[in-house]
């Protein structure tokens, strides 16, 4: 047996995607998959060290590991006219936050990169993603950059949306916002890489074809969301672009990383490779 280490976020959308692989629904032959769960900024940092064979990674984080990892063509999380949001305790216009410190969930997240594209001189402090809503609500920080299920639950904390970066990106480019993907170590070799790519795509397809049972599994990772909200969240980030980036998805990744380099937010151009 050949062990393949897989790491992804403990979120309902990732759990939905990996349901079939994590629960033995697929025939994986002589490959056995070991799963590790960690928040996306931790996974970005571990990808810098090449810790896992397959790992969820922010598209921003991928810019720093493209020499070691390729992007699987399946597993993208893309916001289609929606994405990470900036929230505050009171209704504000975006310009009212320009001189204020914004809590962000990590400097390698795509959310932070897009925030920098919007506000190049943004003032920020880093907090774990699951502490940002509370920090904004209790006044510890004036505003927060929200990812994951917080995009749907921020109102429960009495907060107000100031800016939707996915909408802004759509207005600027006409493209979906590529937030994250699955990356695979190049040194596994072409044969293993190809087999793993097929299995990851098969896992996503299985979840889409068996939505009710996959959602039941994903509910275990929903962090307080009810079934209806979990269904909505999964639907936002597991869709046809998750099965394959497609031409527009690939263009979106290239545009984001090229724009970031041109604006000196990345130290070098990124050679993007997708594994079919």
Q: For residue 183, give the nearest of 51, 54, 276 by alpha carbon.
A: 54
Question: What integer pLDDT is reported at residue 236 of this predicted model?
Answer: 92
Per-residue pLDDT tens digits for 111-128: 999 999 999 999 999 999
Say whether pTM exceeds 0.85. Answer: yes
Backbone angles phi, psi at 9, to 5 degrees: -75, 150
Per-residue pLDDT tens digits for 129-164: 999 999 999 999 999 999 988 899 999 999 999 999
Please tell me the distance from the alpha carbon of residue 269 to that of residue 261, in angstroms, as a whole number: 6
CATH code for position 247: 3.40.190.10
Place of tokens 């320009």: 98
Question: What integer pLDDT is reported at residue 222 of this predicted model?
Answer: 84
Look up the domain containing 62 and give its range: 2-78+178-275
Please tell me the distance from the alpha carbon of residue 127 to that of residue 136, in angstroms, as a whole number: 11
Domain termination site, one of 144, 173, 202: 173
Share of the chain above pLDDT 90, in %: 94
17 and 142 belong to one structural domain? no
- Provide the token pair at 137: 């609500």
Question: Which pLDDT band holds residue 223 (cuts at 50, 70, 90)?
Answer: confident
Please tell me the distance from the alpha carbon of residue 12 to that of residue 33, in angstroms, as a whole number: 19
Domain termination site, one of 173, 192, 215: 173
Domain termination site, one of 173, 203, 237: 173
State the alpha helices, DSSP H only, in the chain.
Answer: 12-22, 40-48, 59-62, 110-118, 132-137, 150-153, 165-173, 190-209, 211-218, 227-237, 240-243, 246-262
66 and 185 belong to one structural domain? yes
Question: What integer pLDDT is reported at residue 224 of this predicted model?
Answer: 77
Per-residue pLDDT tens digits for 161-205: 999 999 999 999 999 999 999 999 999 999 999 999 999 999 999
In 10 A of CB 1, how many CB atoms? Answer: 8
Question: What integer pLDDT is reported at residue 276 of this predicted model?
Answer: 82
Question: Which pLDDT band holds residue 99 (cuts at 50, 70, 90)?
Answer: confident
Decide the pairing of beta strands 101-104 and 177-185: unpaired
Catalytic residues: 148
- State how many domains the chain has: 2
Question: What integer pLDDT is reported at residue 98 of this predicted model?
Answer: 86
Question: Which pLDDT band holds residue 21 (cuts at 50, 70, 90)?
Answer: very high
- Give the distance, in angstroms, between the CA of residue 103 and the centroid of all CA atoms in the same chain: 18
Sign for the CA dihedral angle at 107, 112, 118, 124 comes to negative
Question: Which pLDDT band holds residue 248 (cuts at 50, 70, 90)?
Answer: very high
DSSP, collapsed to helix, strand or coil, labels residue 133 as helix
């Amino acid at each position: 047996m050949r062990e393949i280490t897989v790491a992804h976020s403990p979120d309902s959308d990732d759990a939905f995607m990996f349901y079939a692989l994590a629960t033995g629904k697929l025939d994986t032959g002589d490959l056995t998959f070991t799963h590790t769960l960690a928040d996306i900024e931790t996974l970005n940092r571990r990808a810098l060290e090449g810790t896992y064979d397959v790992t969820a990674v922010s598209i921003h984080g991928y810019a720093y590991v493209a020499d070691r990892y390729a992007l699987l063509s399946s597993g993208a999380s893309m916001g289609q006219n929606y994405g990470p949001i900036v929230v505050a305790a009171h209704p504000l216009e975006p310009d009212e936050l320009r001189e204020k410190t914004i809590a962000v969930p990590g400097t390698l997240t795509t959310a932070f990169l897009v925030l920098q594209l919007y506000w190049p001189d943004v003032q920020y402090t880093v907090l774990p993603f699951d502490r940002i809503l509370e920090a904004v609500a209790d006044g510890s920080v004036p505003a927060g950059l929200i990812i994951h299920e917080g995009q749907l639950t921020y109102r429960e904390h009495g907060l107000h949306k100031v800016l939707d970066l996915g909408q802004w990106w759509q207005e600027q480019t006409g493209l979906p916002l590529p937030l994250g993907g699955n990356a695979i170590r190049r040194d596994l070799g072409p044969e293993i890489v190809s087999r793993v790519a097929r299995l990851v795509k098969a896992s996503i397809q299985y979840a889409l074809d068996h939505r009710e049972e996959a959602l039941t599994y994903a509910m275990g990772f929903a962090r307080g969301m009810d079934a209806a909200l979990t269904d909505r969240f999964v639907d936002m980030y597991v869709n046809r672009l998750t099965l394959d980036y497609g031409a527009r998805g690939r263009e979106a990744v290239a545009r984001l990383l090229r724009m970031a380099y041109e604006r000196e937010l990345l130290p070098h151009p990124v050679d993007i490779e997708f594994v079919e």
